[in-house]
Chains A and B, each alone.
Chain A
Amino acid sequence: LEEEKMFRKNKYWNQVNLDVKRSQRRFPPNLRVSRRTALQHQVINVIMRVLCRNPELHYYQGYHDVAVTLVLVTGEDLATALLEQISLHQLRDFMDHNMERTSQMLALIHAIIEVADPELERFLRRSDVGHMFALSWLITWFAHVVNDPDSIFRIFDFFLGTHPLMPIYLGAALVISHRNELLSCECEMSAVHHFLCSLPQHIPQSLEQLIEEAHDLFKKYPPQKLESASKRYLKESSAVRIHDTFVKELSNQRPDVILRQRSRSVLIAANHTTERLQPESNSGSSGIFVKLAFWALSASVGTMAFFVATTAKKWM
Chain B
Amino acid sequence: MDQNQNCHKNNEFLFKVLIIGDVAVGKSSIMKRFAENVFDRKYGSTIGVDFKTKKLKLGGKAVKLQIWDTAGHERFRSITSAFYRGAHGIVLVYDVTRMETFTNIPKWLQELDLQDYNCTVKILFGNKSDLSSERDVPRETAFKYADSNNMFLFETSAKTGNSVNEAFEHLVSRMLVAFHEAESTATKPILSGDLSTCILSEQEKIIAGSGCSC
**Chain A residues at the B interface, C-beta cutoff of 8 Å:** 15, 18-19, 22-26, 58, 60-62, 64, 97-99, 102-103, 130, 132-133, 135-136, 139-140, 144, 190, 193-194, 197
Contacts and interface: CB of A to CB of B under 8 A. Distances in A.
Given A61-B76, A99-B75, A136 B48 contact: yes
A22 B45 contact: yes
Nearest to B41: A24
Interface of B: 23-24, 41-51, 66, 71, 73, 75-76, 78-80, 82-83
26 contacts: A18-B24, A22-B43, A24-B41, A25-B42, A25-B44, A26-B44, A61-B23, A61-B45, A62-B45, A97-B75, A99-B75, A99-B76, A99-B79, A103-B79, A130-B82, A132-B48, A132-B79, A132-B80, A133-B48, A135-B47, A135-B48, A135-B79, A136-B48, A144-B44, A194-B51, A197-B50
Given A25-B42, A60-B73, A98-B75, A190 B51 contact: yes
B47 A136 contact: yes
Contacts of B46: 61
Given A135-B47, A140-B47, A15 B79 contact: no
Contact of A61 (B43, B50, B66, B71): B71
Given A99-B78, A130-B82, A194-B51, A15 B44 contact: no
B63 to A, nearest CB: 16
Given A18-B23, A22-B44, A103-B79, A132 B49 contact: yes
A197 B43 CA distance: 16
Contacts of A132: 48-49, 79-80, 82-83
Contacts of A193: 49, 51
B76 A190 contact: no
Given A26-B44, A60-B75, 4 more contacts: A60-B76, A61-B73, A98-B78, A136-B48
Nearest to B86: A189
A181 to B, nearest CB: 19
Contacts of B43: 22, 25
Contacts of B79: 99, 102-103, 132, 135
A149 to B, nearest CB: 14
Contacts of A139: 47
Contact of A19 (B45, B76, B80): B45
The 10 closest A-B pairs by CB, nearest first: A136-B47, A135-B48, A25-B42, A61-B73, A18-B24, A24-B42, A62-B47, A61-B45, A22-B44, A132-B48
Nearest to A135: B48
A97 B73 CA distance: 13
A26 to B, nearest CB: 7
Nearest to B100: A14
Contacts of A26: 44
Contacts of A25: 42-44
